[in-house]
Chains A and B, each alone.
Chain A
Amino acid sequence: MKRSSIIIMLVVLAMFVISWLAKASSMAGVEDHNIWHGFLITFSAFLTLAILSFLYKDNPFYKFAEHLFVGVSAAYWMSMGFWTTIVGNLIPRISNSLSAFFEVPPIADEWALLLLPDSVTFFIPVILGIMLLLRLSRNMGWISAWPLAFIVGSTAGFNLVRYLRSDFIEQVSSTFVPLLVDWQGTGHFFSHLNLNASGQFVTMAGNWVIFLGVMCGLIYFFFSKEHKGIFGFGSRVGIWILMVTFGASFGYTVMGRISLLVGRLTFLFGDWLGLIS
């Protein structure tokens, strides 16, 4: 380790301690365990800064925060999963004594599958789970494909129908827009031509754009034909509309993202440094 980096380390450490003490003293009387709470707040402030420091360049503090984050979060999900799924959902179904041990009310049988009690049917996922773990063994690894097949297969079937319905059929049928909105003849159309948003012309133009836009978009996503000639033109219009959309959605998001940062900085300046009342 270079001397400079050691010095930086020490400085940061010193600042950490100072701020901790200052925080603790400022919280004295207001809160009990002020030392401990002072530490917690200072530490989370430190982590916040560590992450932000990444914007300058990768550095030991970021690495520290990152690795800590990875470890803790993995463990967090593990515990979550254990309590909510295993204890919350599995155990109450398979064994009364165990659920008594974990102090969770047993769930009544629903006699759902093949008239087997849950206590039996719910061993199936356990077995599948164990099969999955078997992949760690050299020669039994292949069996881990079975639970995988169960998951992938059932979700594939699940997705197939639902996406076909919501992303395909319903989208297509909602493309059936009237291209002639309350049409009362060409003369009437031109005599009443105006540009206000609810006017006939604007609504009609809108419908046309939507209809042609969808068409061209689909043409752009055509793979089995070279994009040439009229077809090529269609696909070009398609990509134009796509680009406009992407630009729009990007611009739309900007504001919201900024307020995220506001939240963090308010924590730093307010909760930690106490610069804002």
Chain B
Amino acid sequence: MKLTFLIACCVLFLGFPVAGFAQDTPEEAQPADSITTPIPAPPGNVTAWDTENDHGHSVSLSWEPSPDDGTGLGNVIGYIVFRSDSPDGPFVDRGVQPAGASGHTDVGSKEEASQDYMADYVDYYYKVRAITADSLVFAESVMVGPVQSYGQWFNTGRIPVLVFVLCFMAITIFFIQKAKSGANLFVRRLAGIEAVDEAIGRATEMGKPILYVLGLGTAADIATIASYTILGRVAKKIAEYQTGLIVPCYDPITMTVAQETVKTAYMDAGRPDAYNEDMVYFVTQSQFAYVAAVNGTMLRERPATNIYMGKFYAESLILAETGALAGSIQIAGTDEIAQIPFFVVACDYTLIGEELYAASAYLGREPLLLGSLKAQDYAKAAVIILAILGVIAMNVGLDGFKDLFYISN
């Protein structure tokens, strides 16, 4: 209480006129103020080093909190880190840490044009200042330095990722080899996929086309890539049954790919004559304009079946409901978790998340694709085992186990 009163006085009478120089460099401390607020002890044992696993332009610091931080006088409310490129200043403010903090990372810009550009391979000197509520009362650590920043060529923090990448590659390649050697790999049936076939049959009977929507993904979205395989299979069947196919596209590159896929499918089916460039066409690259157009198509062409496979966002429900309105059978598949519920609710069959990828392998029926599907399953088994081990470890207090998975930056 008394303290706050003192602070208030100091702010009123002394603080204010001087506060103009608030951005004061460490040199000009005002001994006069020490009467009002006791000066805290400085942070001890400051060390500075180049930040690991980064592109350079950054230095990390650590220090022991001032004895008056929390304990002692308890008037330290934070720390300011100062940097200079020469031992005798001028020092500039490089960031603030709250009370109790014992470290800071000084990250500069890598753009030479930028204000806080921080050059690599240059000597820097650091000070840490313990600040109190009164900006004129503070204590500074001894200066540390010189320290240089530079970029690394390997990110040790990401070793776990590397390990997993290699393991996964190994499993996949192993099973692909196995598949090549003709071992038959069992894959359980997926309701959604079985449905595709009968849906095509139904469309043929009704003499109505099939609408295939690749979603809003770009050509490189993995969901879209999986969708191509399914499209290829569907198109092949359609070509055999001589049913109509409509593929409106949102992304121009996706369109070119889809055209390629459908064309080949028709050739494989031995009916290149039946293929027609306008089956696969570009609409527009604007979400709701695309939806508007597809909705229109649904109500005008009255497709027997709508297949939605790929990436979908808010439009998922609009599409699915309009499709239901048009009385089409609807089969959906997406890895966009937020949208799965709407498809589940509004469609007849839904491939949930991973099933979409499984479907592409399952439909392709190529041993190679199935091989990688096996690899996925074994990875999942590994996850289950790891999770069980991890839980046990947690409960017997082996926290080290979790650190095996720790990825720094």
Contact = CB atoms under 8 A, between A and B. Distances in A.
Interface in B322-364: 338, 340-342, 344-345, 352-355, 358, 362
Given A165-B407, A224-B186, A62 B296 contact: yes
Given A152-B220, A152-B225, A246-B345, A176 B387 contact: yes
B164 A164 contact: yes
Contacts of B23: none
Interface size range on A against B: 35 or more
B271 to A, nearest CB: 20
B396 to A, nearest CB: 10
Interface core residue of A172, A173, A225 (most chain B CB under 10 Å): A173
Contact of B283 (A70, A223, A243): A70
A220 B380 CA distance: 11
Given A66-B293, A169-B405, A177 B300 contact: no
A151 B165 contact: no
Contacts of B402: 173, 176
B293 A70 contact: yes
Contacts of B225: 152, 156
Contacts of A246: 340-341, 344-345
Given A73-B286, A214-B387, A160 B165 contact: yes
B390 A173 contact: yes
Given A63-B296, A168-B164, A250 B341 contact: yes
A139 interface: no
B292 A224 contact: no
B206 interface: no
Nearest to B259: A135
A178 B394 contact: yes
B152 interface: no
B269 interface: no
A218 B384 contact: yes
B407 A151 contact: no
Interface in B186-228: 186-188, 190, 218-222, 225
Contact of A54 (B256, B295, B374): B295
A50 B186 CA distance: 52
B96 interface: no
B27 interface: no
Nearest to A55: B325
Contacts of B377: 222-225
Interface in A171-205: 172-173, 175-180
B383 interface: yes
Main secondary structure of the interface of B (DSSP, over half): helix
Contacts of A219: 384
A155 to B, nearest CB: 3
A170 interface: yes
Main secondary structure of the interface of A (DSSP, over half): helix
B168 A77 contact: no
A180 B394 CA distance: 9
A70 B358 contact: no
Interface residues of B, number: 66
Contacts of B289: 66, 69-70, 72-74
B256 A66 contact: no
A221 B161 contact: no
A176 B401 contact: yes
B409 to A, nearest CB: 11
B253 interface: yes
B113 to A, nearest CB: 8
Contacts of A226: 186, 188
A65 interface: yes
A26 interface: no
B341 A218 contact: no
Contacts of B286: 69, 73-74, 76-77
A74 B384 contact: no
Given A73-B284, A168-B164, A169-B407, A175 B390 contact: yes
B369 to A, nearest CB: 12
A151 B253 contact: yes
A227 interface: yes
Interface string B90-122: 000000000000000000000001000000000
B406 interface: yes
A148 B219 contact: yes
B160 interface: yes
A242 interface: yes
Interface in A141-170: 144-145, 148, 151-152, 154-156, 159-161, 164-165, 168-170
B395 interface: yes
Contacts of A159: 222
21 contacts: A69-B288, A70-B289, A74-B283, A74-B289, A76-B286, A152-B225, A156-B220, A160-B165, A161-B165, A164-B165, A172-B386, A176-B390, A176-B401, A179-B395, A221-B380, A223-B373, A224-B186, A225-B188, A242-B352, A245-B341, A250-B341
Q: Which 6 A-B pairs have the closest CB atoms?
A: A155-B220, A176-B390, A173-B405, A73-B286, A246-B341, A73-B289
Given A70-B292, A155-B221, 18 more contacts: A57-B299, A58-B300, A62-B296, A69-B289, A148-B257, A152-B225, A156-B222, A164-B161, A172-B387, A175-B391, A177-B394, A178-B391, A211-B391, A218-B383, A221-B354, A223-B190, A224-B373, A242-B352
